[in-house]
Every structure is written in structure tokens, then in C-alpha cells.
Chains A and B, each alone.
Chain A
Amino acid sequence: MDLASPHTGFVAAAYVISALVLFGLTAFILMRDRRLRAEAEALDHQRAKDAR
């Protein structure tokens, strides 16, 4: 890639925005998954404890 090209800024902007959106989406989905699975597990344990 020729970095001296007049449109390098446009190319860089497209790749940076794509990376930020996809990384942000991945992080959001993974963190939500971790939180919800931990909460479900905790409630499951609590229910089993209450049943005893």
C-alpha cells in the first residue's frame, strides 16, 4: 500500500472504524455472556440450596 497516496486518510479511517465497531461488538457480547452465565449459575446454586 502506498502511504503517500492522497486518499490514505480515507482508507485508514475505514479500517479504524471497522476495527473499533467489531472489537466493541465482540467485547460487549463476550462480557454480557460472562455476566449472564455467572448470574444464572448463582441463581441455580441458590435454588438448589433453598431446596435442601
Chain B
Amino acid sequence: MQSLANPARFLKIANAVLPWVWAAAALSLAAGLYGALAAAPADYQQGETVRIIFVHVPAAWMALFVYTVMASASAAAIVFRHPLADVAAKAAAPIGAAFCFLALVTGSIWGKPMWGAWWVWDARLTSMFVLLLLYLGYMAIWQAIDEPHRAAQIARIVALVGFVNVPVVKFSVDWWNSLHQPASVFRMGGPTIHISILWPLLVMGLAYTLLFLALHLVAMRSEIAARKIRQLRIARIGDR
């Protein structure tokens, strides 16, 4: 990891792996969509509405995973002073926010026919909404503070403090009485979902993960370019 912290080396590796990651993401997305829309049967209780789960659940997984990446990178920035750690955290935030937004919207679309309501202030839904606010707050800090070093210091703290919400989202269905169903894939004792529904769900999860990886690498590359532009402009002013 230390060797990857060099931006030049990171760019070289990222440029080499990106075409393969894009290709893997496209293939797994195609396989996942086939499984979700064609191969998976309708649920005996939910009917065709179960197909919303194939875009809702992976988006929710990614919202939690990306925040964990952001918090880990922020911790690495504080402890190890990796030059790329803040870049990684900052680049991950908009992608995580998009997945979190999708989880909330697709969950709401599923909720209307199944629960009879677009939204309820349930523990899972509320904690997920708090997660979206944390993403937006983290992004607002980078936008509001011009000096990158100072913005990074505050953003790292927000990312780490906000990480408390990640286990709250995950275990909210166990800790409180919730309308939302309990964990049915990542749980002690194994998944409770039938294999015909489980495999498209896992393939869609893989596709979203690969899409995140590709977008994150590109966004990190952009952030490195943005920092270089800032340095070159400052150097140009200094030369005058």
C-alpha cells in the first residue's frame, strides 16, 4: 500500500487496470440484469416487485461500503500521512452519495406497493437518510473551504465521526422494531433467500462494486490533476 501512495505510480497502475475494470463491470452488469429481469422468478408474496430488490439492495450495500472506504482512507490520512489517502476519500464521496440516493429512492418505490407508503420514519430508513446527509456534508466541506489542507483536516474528522452511523444502519433492523425486513444475505447462519433470487442479487452486487472501482479510479485521477493544476497556477503566480 505504501508503494501505491506515490501519485505517479498510482496513475500508471490505474491507467493499466481501468480498461479491464470497465470491461468486467459491463459484463457483470449485463449478466446481473439478465438474472434480475429474465432468469429470476417472481416472488410468491411480492410478485414482480421483487425485481426492484436487485437494484435497491446492491445500492444500499455500496452506500455503506463506500462510506467505509471513505472513513478508512481518512483514518489512513491521519495515521500514515499517505499522499493519496485524502484524494481517495474525497473522490469516493459523490459516488457513495449517488448509491445512497439510489438506495433511498428505489426503496421508496418498492415500499409503496409493498407497505402502502412511499416513506416511513423507520430506524433503517432514517439512518440511511442520515448517511446521505453525512455524504452531502462531507462534500460541502471540500466545496466550502478553499485551502485544501484545512478542508482535508475537517473532512477527515467528519468522515470518521460519521462512520458511527454505518453499524447503526446495518443493525438498525435488529436493535429496533422496524418495518424494514431483517438481514437476509449477510447474516449468521447464511442467506435465507432462495438461490434463484440470490445469484442475480450477488452478481448485481459485484457489478456495482466493479462500477464503483472504475469510477473511483477515474475520480482519483481527476483529483490528482486538479491538485496539479492548483500547484501549477500557484507556481505561475510565484514566477511573475
Contact = CB atoms under 8 A, between A and B. Distances in A.
Interface of A: 1-2, 5-8, 10-11, 13-15, 17-18, 21-22, 25-26, 29-30, 32-33, 36-37, 39-40, 43-44, 46-47, 50
B113 to A, nearest CB: 5
A31 B101 CA distance: 22
Nearest to A47: B232
Main secondary structure of the interface of A (DSSP, over half): helix
B229 interface: yes
A5 B47 CA distance: 8
B42 A2 contact: yes
Contacts of B235: 47
B-side interface mostly: helix
B178 interface: no
A26 B239 CA distance: 38
Give the contact-size bracket for chain B. Answer: 35 or more
A1 B225 contact: no
Given A14-B110, A30-B218, A50-B239, A2 B94 contact: no
Interface stretch (B52-60, B140-148, B166-174): B52-60
Given A11-B51, A25-B95, A43-B229, A33 B221 contact: yes
